[in-house]
Amino acid sequence: MVSPVLFWVVAILTVVPALSLLFARKAVHIAMSIVCVMVGLAAAYVGLDAPFLGVVQIVVYTGAVMMLFLFVLMLVGVDQREDTRETIKGQRWIAFFTAGGIAFLLISVLGRVSIAPQAARVGNPEEIALVLFGRYVLVMEVLGALLITAAVGALIMTHTPRLTPRRTQSEVQAARVLAGADPVNKPMPGVFARHNALDVPARDPEGKPIEHSVSRVLEARHQMSDGDEFRTRLENTSNPEDSQLPNGAPSADSDERTPRIGEEDQK
């Protein structure tokens, strides 16, 4: 016999979250509630002597199907507003009435059924496998074909044809040169690196600083250092005015740096 406690726990754990299908506004909340329903159903299967199906329910439904739902939800519709105006007049009441009618019909018939339960056969993997690969082996093969067809069908359905020809690497490079952009990568900042010298521009072969090698962010905050100034500071570390210098110059005897221009007024 099935424990009544299990039945009522499962009933509450499934019916209450399932009602969110009708009343919740956000689709993500509904998906998470359905995950809860699936876990409750898995508990019911275990309680009904079908442990194999209970595990499969968790793996297939909460693990795969509902996560696929959430994935697609994030992909297309997580910010889509559901319009609540009715295109068919009275559709809401017709829907409630129809569903209530189905429930009433089914429950009124099922309430009169009296079947004495037989002794349970526990559906553990061995028993299920004996039935599955015995009487139902042909169905099993057909289902394999169905799964492959579904996978190929999903691939075809979500496939988008390429409208423009693929650009090769040399074409990309030619377009870059034509547009007058730098044909190679930007130089890295950080000549005369003494501290984290991302604020010191790199130099070109003539020795002139390449201003755009420093990040735009540092430039906007006025935290760029001048390379020459920095070198002077480095070579002249015995300068007693060292600590008075701006732009984070290091002093001879300590690693602490003075605040940079513009850093003060941000604090």
Q: Which of residues 117-136 bind other proteins (CB under 8 A)?
A: 117-121, 123, 127-128, 131-132, 135-136
Query: Of 11 and 193, which CB lies nearer to other proteins in the complex structure?
Result: 11
- The neighbour count for residue 226, using CB atoms within 10 Å, is 13
Look up tokens 């002139």; give the residue. Answer: 208
CB-based contact 218:224 (threshold 8 Å): yes
Contact between 256 and other proteins per CB under 8 A: no
Structure tokens at 173: 């490079």
Nearest by Cα to 36 from 51, 53, 19, 56? 19
Query: Of 41 and 214, which CB lies nearer to other proteins in the complex structure?
Result: 41
φ, ψ at 210 (rounded to 5°): -95, 105
Contact between 32 and other proteins per CB under 8 A: no
Taking the C-alpha atoms of residue 18 and residue 31, their distance in angstroms, rounded to an integer, is: 10
DSSP summary character for residue 158:
H
User: Which one of 79, 89, 110, 254 is in contact with other proteins (CB under 8 A)?
Assistant: 110
Contact between 18 and other proteins per CB under 8 A: yes
SS3 202: strand
Contact between 143 and other proteins per CB under 8 A: yes
- The neighbour count for residue 38, using CB atoms within 10 Å, is 19
- Region of residue 49 (left: phi > 0; alpha: psi -120 to 50; beta: else): left
Q: CB of 1: closest distance to other proteins in angstroms?
A: 6
Contact between 21 and other proteins per CB under 8 A: yes
Contact between 102 and other proteins per CB under 8 A: yes
Q: How many residues bind other proteins (CB under 8 A)?
A: 84
Alpha-carbon distances, residue 77 vs 20, 32, 66, 226 (angstroms): 18, 15, 15, 50
Q: Among 85-93, 199-207, 208-216, 233-241, which window interacts with other proteins (CB under 8 A)?
A: 85-93
Contact between 19 and other proteins per CB under 8 A: yes
Q: CB of 167: closest distance to other proteins in angstroms?
A: 23
Look up tokens 């009124």; give the residue. Answer: 108
Query: Of 48 and 218, which CB lies nearer to other proteins in the complex structure?
Result: 48
Contact between 224 and other proteins per CB under 8 A: no
Q: Which of residues 37-76 bind other proteins (CB under 8 A)?
A: 37-38, 41, 44-45, 48-50, 52-53, 56-57, 60-61, 64-65, 68-69, 72-73, 75-76
Taking the C-alpha atoms of residue 221 and residue 249, their distance in angstroms, rounded to an integer, is: 17
Contact between 218 and other proteins per CB under 8 A: no
Q: Among 35-43, 175-183, 210-218, 246-254, which window interacts with other proteins (CB under 8 A)?
A: 35-43
